[in-house]
């Protein structure tokens, strides 16, 4: 059971290792992109390429789908970013349980957006966890964990790709241990838990009164999707890459442009400055700040704001 690109390496690993994948369960095709054209989930595309049977239930609690799973008689159900909560009836169905690959070091960052939240929060370390699933949200007993270091310039995209590959390998190790009857089962310490809720529009908005470091972490944490946003002259601007200039003092108002040059656009924050290196004005493509400046009259003293006219903070 899986849906996005994150789950594709795990599916590949299962097939390459010789596991008998009885069925691939993924979410229904949905409209995507600017044109809202109906598109298949990445897991479906890959499963079809591997000649695996694919099922896309709209509601996994429906009697027909539950009976479909019962008829499969799976020894184990592997779940990787499926995007739906499994009911108790399914969780208890396979004799070896349901095993989930989660993109955090549980019990930290339980929930839907663990990679985004870890990068936005400036974490220097994250990882993947395999766990037995239960009815709670990412609260099941732990199997294995693997850690990575998050570099100061790593984006969510880079961390995502690293963890998806790492998780695929960890899944194979986990299944091997379960097959031999040697799998650990470690209860989570709920006192150390934290939550990674889905991203909202407010998470995208840059508040320039924050520190340069916080803004940099927000920008890289929202890259490549959905992007950190600000406003300039009434137009929406997405910021894709910045450099934090934490030692730069300044009495200017947060959001004010304090310099434009070959290095980019320097903007005052609540503590320090950020140097915008890559941005995207609404209706245009991403571009380097230097290219933007060639076609713009942006000058010292202009203001990036958190909201467009008519919006509230």
- State residue 246's pLDDT score: 83
What CATH number did the domain enclosing 276 receive?
3.10.25.10
Pair 134, 241 in one domain: no
Model confidence at 312: pLDDT above 60? no
For the chain, the residue count is 313
Looking at the domain assignment, is residue 313 inside a domain?
no
Pair 280, 150 in one domain: no
Looking at the domain assignment, is residue 277 inside a domain?
yes
Model confidence at 107: pLDDT above 60? yes
- State residue 35's pLDDT score: 77
- State residue 308's pLDDT score: 66
Q: Which residue has the higher pLDDT, 170 or 306?
A: 170
Looking at the domain assignment, is residue 52 inside a domain?
yes
Pair 141, 92 in one domain: yes
- Half-sphere exposure of residue 109: CA atoms within 13 angstroms, side-chain side: 20
Provide the pairing of β-strand 24-25 with 54-55: parallel
Pair 210, 281 in one domain: yes
Looking at the domain assignment, is residue 312 inside a domain?
no
**For range 121-144, the mean pLDDT:** 97
Pair 112, 26 in one domain: yes
- State residue 272's pLDDT score: 94
- State residue 191's pLDDT score: 96
Q: Say how far apart CA 77 and CA 80 lie, in whole Å.
A: 10
Total structural domains in the chain? 2
Looking at the domain assignment, is residue 310 inside a domain?
no
Task: Please check whether residue 271 is in contact with residue 279, taking contact to mean a CB–CB distance below 8 angstroms.
Answer: no
Confidence of residue 306 (pLDDT cuts 50, 70, 90): confident
Task: Please check whether residue 253 is in contact with residue 268, taking contact to mean a CB–CB distance below 8 angstroms.
Answer: yes
- State residue 33's pLDDT score: 75
Pair 43, 171 in one domain: yes
Residue 62 in tokens: 């429906």
**For range 97-111, the mean pLDDT:** 98
Looking at the domain assignment, is residue 76 inside a domain?
yes
Residue 227 in tokens: 């992007």
Task: Please check whether residue 159 is in contact with residue 113, taking contact to mean a CB–CB distance below 8 angstroms.
Answer: no
Q: pLDDT for 167-219, tens place per residue?
A: 999 999 999 999 999 999 999 999 999 999 999 999 999 999 999 999 999 99
Q: Of 192, 217, 248, which residue sits at a domain end?
A: 192
Give the pTM: 0.95
Pair 18, 160 in one domain: yes
Q: Say how far apart CA 162 and CA 125 lie, in whole Å.
A: 12
* Residue 276, helix vs strand vs coil: strand
Domain boundaries, position 154: 5-192
Looking at the domain assignment, is residue 311 inside a domain?
no
Confidence of residue 311 (pLDDT cuts 50, 70, 90): low
**For range 246-275, the mean pLDDT:** 90
State phi, psi for 62 to the nearest 5 degrees: -60, 140
Pair 145, 206 in one domain: no
Listed residue (65, 128, 133, 125) closest to 102, CA to CA? 128
Q: Of 173, 192, 211, which residue sits at a domain end?
A: 192
Model confidence at 297: pLDDT above 90? no
What is the average pLDDT value for the chain, to the nearest integer?
95
Q: Of 192, 212, 242, which residue sits at a domain end?
A: 192
Pair 182, 219 in one domain: no
Pair 220, 161 in one domain: no
**For range 249-264, the mean pLDDT:** 89
Looking at the domain assignment, is residue 162 inside a domain?
yes
Pair 132, 27 in one domain: yes
Listed residue (120, 128, 290, 105) closest to 218, CA to CA? 120
Pair 152, 13 in one domain: yes
- Edge-to-edge, what's the strand order for the sheet holding 77-80? 77-80, 98-102, 125-132, 142-149
């Amino acid at each position: 059971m899986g849906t996005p690109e994150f789950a594709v390496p795990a599916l590949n690993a299962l097939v390459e290792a010789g596991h008998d994948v009885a069925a691939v369960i993924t979410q229904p095709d949905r409209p995507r992109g600017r044109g809202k054209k109906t598109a298949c989930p990445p897991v479906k595309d890959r499963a079809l390429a591997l000649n695996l049977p694919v099922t896309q239930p709209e509601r996994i609690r429906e009697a027909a789908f539950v009976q479909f799973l019962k008829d499969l008689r799976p020894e184990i159900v592997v779940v990787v970013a499926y995007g739906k909560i499994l009911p108790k009836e399914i969780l208890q169905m396979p004799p070896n349980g349901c095993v989930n690959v989660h993109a955090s070091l549980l019990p930290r960052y339980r929930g839907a957006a663990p990679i985004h939240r870890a990068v936005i929060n400036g974490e220097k370390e994250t990882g993947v966890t395999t766990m037995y699933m239960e009815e709670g949200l990412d609260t099941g007993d732990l199997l294995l964990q693997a850690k990575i270091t998050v570099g100061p310039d790593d984006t969510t995209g880079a961390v995502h790709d690293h963890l998806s590959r790492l998780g695929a390998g960890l899944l194979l190790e986990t299944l091997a241990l379960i097959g031999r009857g040697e799998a650990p089962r470690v209860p989570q310490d709920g006192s150390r838990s934290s939550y990674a809720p889905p991203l909202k529009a407010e998470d995208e908005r840059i508040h320039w009164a924050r520190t340069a470091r916080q803004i940099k972490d927000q920008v890289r944490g929202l890259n490549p999707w959905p992007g950190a946003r600000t406003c300039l002259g009434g137009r929406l601007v997405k910021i894709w890459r910045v450099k934090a200039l934490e030692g730069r003092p300044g009495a200017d108002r947060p959001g004010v442009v304090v310099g434009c040059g070959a290095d980019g656009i320097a903007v005052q924050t609540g503590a320090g400055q950020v140097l915008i290196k890559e941005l995207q004005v609404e209706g245009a493509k991403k571009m380097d700040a230097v290219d933007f400046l060639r076609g713009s009259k942006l000058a010292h003293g202009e203001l990036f704001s958190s909201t467009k006219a008519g919006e509230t903070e």
